[in-house]
């Protein structure tokens, strides 16, 4: 099982994770083929029949496709906020500027990003 997990992770999961941030914002229907591939990979590792329930995701520590997409976007934003991402990402992600006043605003603690 461990050898099959390594092979599937190397060939299947790496291809699903490659450029998956382009799928953000698509409807669930258009992302479902990739989720089906993840489900099939899980069944292959566990040697389950085609229509069986998938219970191995907790043991494999795999996230569903929607959670993988969110995680990738959040990591890119965090890296750009910390200044360790590529320059073009750092240049495009900015915090909102609060109004200049003598008293601090509650909105300055929200860490909201500016959307152009």
pLDDT digits (tens, 9 = 90+) for 36-90: 998 888 888 888 888 877 765 677 788 888 888 999 999 999 999 898 999 998 8
pLDDT band for 103, please (50, 70, 90 cuts).
low
Annotated domain spans of the chain: 2-109
- Token match 């914002």: residue? 25
Q: pTM here? A: 0.74
**How far from 108 is each of 40, 50, 105, CA to CA, in Å?**
46, 52, 6
d(CA 77, CA 66): 17
Helices (H), 1-116: 2-8, 14-17, 28-46, 57-60, 65-82, 87-92
3 phi, psi to nearest 5 deg? -65, -40
Q: How many residues does the chain have?
A: 116
């Amino acid at each position: 099982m461990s050898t099959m997990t390594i092979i599937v992770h190397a060939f299947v999961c790496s291809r699903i994770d490659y450029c998956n941030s382009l799928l953000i914002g698509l409807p669930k229907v258009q992302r479902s083929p990739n989720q089906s591939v993840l489900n099939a990979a899980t069944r292959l590792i566990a040697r389950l029949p085609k229509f069986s329930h998938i219970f191995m995701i907790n043991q494999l520590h795999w996230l569903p496709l929607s959670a993988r997409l969110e995680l990738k976007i959040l990591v890119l934003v965090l890296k750009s906020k910390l200044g360790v991402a590529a320059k073009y990402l750092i240049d495009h992600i900015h915090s909102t500027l609060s109004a200049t006043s003598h008293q601090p605003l509650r909105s300055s603690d929200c860490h909201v990003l500016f959307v152009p």
